[in-house]
Amino acid sequence: MAWTSLATVFSTQNLATVRTAALEGGPHGLTVNAVAPVWMDTALMRGQLDAQAKNRGMSS
């Protein structure tokens, strides 16, 4: 639970920073991108985690 909360805080701060930079830089032709530092819970990621667990003889 603590890691989820921490990830949420960092993601929210990152999003706010990226939005601000895009709003301020956009009129000057600047583009802003960001990479989330956490795993996102999607069907693709669950499939990859399941495959990694199977390859290592672990349950997922």
In-domain check, residue 60 = no
Residue 10 pLDDT class (50, 70, 90 cuts)? low
Percent of the chain with pLDDT over 70: 75
In-domain check, residue 41 = yes
The string of DSSP codes covering 4-43 is: HHHHHHHHHHHHHHHHHHHHHHGGGT-------SS----H
Note whether 60 and 51 are within 8 A (CB).
no
Residue span of the structural domain in which 24 resides: 2-55
Total count of domains within the chain = 1
* 35-59 pLDDT, tens digit each: 766 677 788 888 888 898 899 998 7
Give the global pTM: 0.46
In this predicted structure, the answer to whether residue 15 has a pLDDT above a threshold of 70 is yes
